[in-house]
Chains A and B, each alone.
Chain A
């Protein structure tokens, strides 16, 4: 099945630093999603990307959909303590009923040192 490789697995950064994480796939995705999960809560959608090459921002977050449609990155600028959490990339299935299902990366755990 489809797999998403997410890196890095974890990051420790100083408050105020910029962060970059990425997600790659061996197969093409038509949509890329980035979610953040706080401890004990469900994932919250941060950014959705629908078109190859698309660059989208949401506040201090910026994500891009790779031109090959096999990768995406998420950048966080000027990190703050509340950015702590696990960030997941996700993409839908290719066709049919499976196109509504999501495949998730293994997550990037972000720790911000005040």
Chain B
């Protein structure tokens, strides 16, 4: 149980391209999903919290117009990196927590390796 699917797993594209990453909870409903970025040999850094049916909450220093988040259903959140540049190259990971009254741990997707040329 608690499977989170992330797609695509690897993207290579030219500078200026916009890239969309999907995060799906396959066997549970997720009111809240999270988007992280991880640079080589570093820990996960939270970018934003995605709430179904409402605006995402961005962490300090993360540009909301650069990283567009849409959480249109209880099983799908998308992250769009707009006009990507080489400095946006990173490993992007989503996670989801099951909708519950009690506290539930986050379960992670397998990540998307983004390389901007």
Contact = CB atoms under 8 A, between A and B. Distances in A.
Interface of A: 30-31, 33, 35, 40-45, 48, 50, 88, 92, 97, 99-102, 104-107
26 contacts: A31-B103, A31-B105, A33-B105, A35-B108, A40-B110, A40-B111, A41-B111, A42-B6, A42-B93, A42-B95, A42-B110, A43-B44, A43-B108, A44-B108, A45-B2, A45-B107, A48-B105, A50-B103, A97-B57, A100-B97, A100-B103, A102-B34, A102-B95, A102-B106, A104-B43, A106-B42
B109 A42 contact: yes
B46 A100 contact: no
B77 interface: no
B32 interface: yes
Dominant secondary structure of chain B at its interface with chain A:
strand
Contacts of B34: 101-102
A100 B49 contact: yes
A97 B43 contact: no
B110 A107 contact: no
- Report the contact-size class of chain B (Cβ under 8 Å from the partner): 20 to 34
Interface string B59-99: 00000000000000000000000000000000101010100
Contacts of A44: 108
Interface in B35-68: 42-44, 46, 49, 57
Nearest to B9: A40
Given A31-B103, A42-B6, A92-B103, A100 B110 contact: no
Interface of B: 2, 4, 6, 32, 34, 42-44, 46, 49, 57, 91, 93, 95, 97, 103, 105-111, 113
Contact of A97 (B46, B49, B111): B49
A104 B42 CA distance: 10
Nearest to B46: A101
Nearest to B93: A42
Q: Which of B4, B6, B95 has the most CB of A within 10 A?
A: B95
Nearest to B6: A42
A40 B32 contact: no
A41 B113 CA distance: 9
